[in-house]
Amino acid sequence: MISDVSIASGASKSLQIDCDELKRLWQQPLRLFRLSNALREKSCGDVVSFVVNRNINFTNICIGTCRFCSFKHQKSFTLTSEQILERAGEAERLGATEICLQGGLAPGMMLEDYCRILETIHRDYPRIHLHAYSPMEVLHMSRNSGVSVRDALLELKKSGLGSLPGTAAEILVDSVRGKICPDKLRVKEWREIITAAHNLGIHTTSTMLFGHIESLDDRLRHLQVLKEIQLETGGFTELVLLPFISDNNNLGRIARSADLLDRLKMHALSRVALYPDITNIQASWTKLGRETAAAAIEWGANDLGGTLMDEAIARNAREAPSISAADLIELIEGRGRKAVQRTTLYERA
């Protein structure tokens, strides 16, 4: 059994814990809580970060069949270039350093269309970091345009892409994916696209959608895939944990929802499993709610994500679609931590 005391005292620079030990930790919440905090202290100290950003969901038209999706249940829309630029301009005026661009898999969208969105924003607002397009979107545009994933990524980078969201990961186990998102890219494809981006100097986030039909073993396999990629490329900036929201989607009719302790423990387990390779563990206030996200700071998390300004894809219905920097600072300082505004790539803003 791993010695928590040795970890806290800094005796171990690297941590390799097998699945059996991680399962034992899962069954020992107090020990998991203490160990995750010790590792968070070693990695990040008492700093908890956030980014001032805006989400722009440019369309909800989608050929996907993901059973957890609540996005398509809204009235169909596609933003014009003028509407996108208007939102980008407002974001800059409000102090955003990042714009996150994601949308549905519209059947007619080509690589040039995705590049045009980037170019439109980058031309007028070159200082804003463009965090855009999931691996599924990259695969979609490459297929539609008949180009390789690598060439698509190169064109996106030329058009102003700064980094890629590591979404569309859900659970990186194909047997689970076959049940919750049967038409989505497979684990091998997600891994190849993420690795290709890293090899081109494009950093990405990583994510996990948990608390539906997956097992603890599935979650651990997901974390192992992320760790393997990070050891190979070093290209992940963070892990964003996304508890499943059962409202207004087909999966919610049959799937359980993670309870509060499960959600907090998952942040802690991720900190331990990924230490020291992925340093930043983000608690998503849009999915957890503000107070639970703040509580996750005490369970290994060191980041509360962004202000967003808009968020339509999936969020806790009780939460407003944005939060102010002042509110994030208050949540962080209320837990006795130091709030720091960051950039997308975790530099001081």
pLDDT tens digits, residue range 155-190?
A: 999 999 999 999 999 999 999 999 999 999 999 999
Q: What are phi and psi of 304, to 5 degrees?
A: -110, 15
Question: 104 lies in a domain?
Answer: yes
Question: 15 lies in a domain?
Answer: no
Provide the pLDDT confidence category of residue 217 given band limits of 50, 70 and 90. Answer: very high
Domain extent, residue 163, equals 25-341
The two structure tokens encoding residue 223: 């974390």
* Collapsed DSSP state (helix, strand, coil) of residue 241: strand
List, for residues 243-267, the tens digit of each pLDDT value.
999 888 899 988 888 999 999 999 9
pTM value surpassing 0.85: yes
Q: What CA–CA distances, in Å, run from 104 to 114, 133, 172, 251, 315?
A: 12, 10, 20, 18, 16
Overall number of domains in the chain: 1
Mean pLDDT of 98-125: 97
E runs forming strands in 169-315: 203-210, 236-243, 281-283, 303-306
Q: What is the mean pLDDT of the chain?
A: 92
Quick one: which of 167, 141, 171 has its CA closest to 156?
Answer: 141
Domain containing residue 208: CATH number:
3.20.20.70
Q: State yes or no: cis peptide before 165, omega within 30 of 0.
A: no
Question: 4 lies in a domain?
Answer: no
Provide the pLDDT confidence category of residue 313 given band limits of 50, 70 and 90. Answer: very low
Contact (CB, 8 A) for 289 and 316 = yes
Looking at the DSSP assignment, which residues form a beta bridge with residue 315? none
pLDDT attached to residue 309: 83
Provide the pLDDT confidence category of residue 193 given band limits of 50, 70 and 90. Answer: very high
Bin 62: left if φ > 0, else alpha if -120 < ψ < 50, else beta: beta
* Collapsed DSSP state (helix, strand, coil) of residue 139: helix
- Buried (b) or exposed (e) across 284-320, using 16+ Cβ within 10 A? bbbbbbbebbbbbbbbbbbbbbbbbbebbbbbbeebe
Higher pLDDT, 257 or 124: 124
pLDDT attached to residue 4: 65
Question: 195 lies in a domain?
Answer: yes
Question: 303 lies in a domain?
Answer: yes
Quick one: which of 274, 201, 288 has its CA closest to 238?
Answer: 274
Question: 112 lies in a domain?
Answer: yes
Mean pLDDT of 261-287: 97
Question: 255 lies in a domain?
Answer: yes
Q: What is the amino acid identity at position 183?
A: D
**Could you tell me which residues come within 8 angstroms of residue 224 by beta carbon, excluding any fewer than 6 positions away?**
19, 273
Question: 142 lies in a domain?
Answer: yes
* 8-state DSSP, 72: G
Query: Angle of helix 260-274 relative to helix 19-26, nearest 10 degrees?
Result: 150
The two structure tokens encoding residue 344: 């997308």
The two structure tokens encoding residue 282: 């983000």
Quick one: which of 148, 165, 151 has its CA closest to 206?
Answer: 165
Mean pLDDT of 126-130: 98
Looking at the DSSP assignment, which residues form a beta bridge with residue 129? 98
When mean pLDDT is compared across 80-89, 199-208, 302-311, 329-338, the lowest value belongs to: 302-311
